Structure 1
Amino acid sequence: MDDPLVAVVGLFCVVAVVLFVLALVIGVRRRRRREQQLQQWADGNGWQLVKQPAVDWGQHLPGRNPHGVRVMLAGRVHGRPVMVGEYEVTDTQVTTGADGNPTSTSHTHLYVVTVAILGRMQPPVSVSARGRLSRAKAGLLGPGDTASGDPQFDKAFRIRGAPGPWCTPALLAAHLAGHVPVPWTVSGQQLITWREGSLRPPEPLDPVLRLAHLLDNGA
């Protein structure tokens, strides 16, 4: 006589496999449908859709996933080459239960990455907003070697890299007024900015273009 427990476990495994395959099929169909929608938008607006683009943006983004950019839109705005992509990264957290057994939980995060091509090569630099603790520390101890010269800016933002000629009063004022995106980083001629969310064009590009203009026109 068959063991009922074995039968139940076997049925559970079969159901789990079926649900996994079903979820995989649904995910593939959803992704294809989104790509079709992006293609239609690109065709209607003079942009190009690129799947699995060969870009190195991941090394500058949260999680540093080198293959995280699955799809990208490329075009020109006011003569400047601009690319907008969707970046995906999964992190895994491991916790230990009361029984001493570890349990892993995975979370997938999506980011919209916007890249504007600058008119000239720039030294590597990045700017990010300070958290509450970092603001308090900067207020007490100062920003360190990467000070911009503007106390308000240095309290609100952190510079990684040399301030350099790009760090103009106009650019600092644009950050304090919220007119440019943060965080951002420069790699060669690429100005890379990102925000959490999924790609749903049209993306607001004016803030990125304003920042690119300020960087290009630094003293």
Structure 2
Amino acid sequence: MGAIIAVIVIALIAVLITLTVPLVMLAQRREQRRLESLAQWATSIGWTTYAGSVEVPWTVRLPGANPRGIRCLFTGVYRDRPVSVAEYTYQTSSTSYVNGQTQVTTDSHDFVACVIHLPYTYPGIEVAARGSGSRMWRWLTGPDDTEVGIAEFDSDYRVRSTHPEAVRKIIGPAMVRAHLAGMAPNWSLHGTDLLVYWQGRMEPARVLPALDAVLRIAGLLGH
């Protein structure tokens, strides 16, 4: 009886492998076609395509900070500004125990990054909408030294900077109004690279409007 069960188990495993391999190959082909389609779109608007893993300095400001996380990179000029647009990924692993067995699950997290390369250098600064944890921390500890001094903005947005004394010079009243009106996404700036990112895969129809939003931020720096 035991031998029969073993044969059945082996047969099931063989069937599973037989079914899985074609599915994996199909997924790989679909991904390759998707990346080729993105490259064709980039070429159609005069941009340069860099396929595969490319190292750029601003991945340190993306979730996971994976220096080898760029899946594809496109560079070019948009509205007279040099830009970079990339699809980025990083992975996390979690361990669980089921029936005494250790199971490790790996999850991929995908993002799209849009970068405007500015003609001037800035200190490191990041602006992000506050979550409940950030609001509570501020309530417990008091104002940060990077706040701009406008109560509604400071309560809704967290600013981090390597040079707190420069924050109010970079984030002026016009920038504050844009954020409070919902017209500015979360962003970060370091050196000459102004960065905005969001979770998901790259969709050409979304890229140029996103770059318009980054350009809006660039035009508001110091105002």
TM class, shorter-length:
0.7 to 0.9
How many aligned positions are there? Answer: 215
Aligned to 2:73: 72
TM-score (norm 1): 0.87
2:97 partner amino acid: T
Q: CA deviation at 1:124?
A: 1.1
Structure 1 residues 15, 60: CA separation in 2 closer, same or farther (over 3 Å shift)? Answer: farther
Aligned to 2:154: 154
CA contact (8 A) 1:88 1:108 kept: yes
Report 1:10-21 matches (<5 A). 10-21=10-21
Q: CA deviation at 1:22?
A: 2.2
Distance 1:145 1:20 in 2: 55
Choose the corresponding residue for 2:214, options 185, 208, 213: 208
CA contact (8 A) 1:138 1:154 kept: no
1:176 partner amino acid: L
Aligned to 1:186: 189
CA contact (8 A) 2:72 2:86 kept: yes
Q: CA deviation at 1:141?
A: 4.2
Distance 1:181 1:167 in 2: 14
Aligned to 2:117: 117
Secondary structure of the structure 2 residue equivalent to 1:125 = strand
CA contact (8 A) 2:128 2:158 kept: yes
Distance 1:128 1:156 in 2: 9
2:175 partner amino acid: L
Percent same amino acid among aligned pairs? 36
CA contact (8 A) 2:55 2:67 kept: no
Distance 1:214 1:179 in 2: 11
Aligned to 2:86: 85
CA contact (8 A) 1:126 1:159 kept: yes
Structure 1 residues 66, 24: CA separation in 2 closer, same or farther (over 3 Å shift)? Answer: farther
Q: CA deviation at 1:199?
A: 0.4
CA contact (8 A) 2:113 2:198 kept: yes
TM-score (norm 2): 0.86
Distance 1:121 1:188 in 2: 4
Aligned to 2:6: 6
Q: CA deviation at 1:68?
A: 1.3
Secondary structure of the structure 1 residue equivalent to 2:192 = strand
Secondary structure of the structure 2 residue equivalent to 1:144 = coil
- Post-superposition Cα deviations, 1:127-161, rounded to whole Å, max 9, x if no partner, equal 11111232244346433222111111111111111
2:7 partner amino acid: A
Residue segments in structure 2 that go unaligned for 5+ positions in a row? none
Aligned to 2:201: 198
Q: CA deviation at 1:27?
A: 2.3
- Post-superposition Cα deviations, 1:89-118, rounded to whole Å, max 9, x if no partner, equal 222222334x44433322222111111101
Q: CA deviation at 1:85?
A: 1.0
Distance 1:40 1:199 in 2: 13
2:143 partner amino acid: P
Aligned to 1:29: 29
Answer 1 or 2: which has greater helix percent.
Answer: 2
2:44 partner amino acid: G
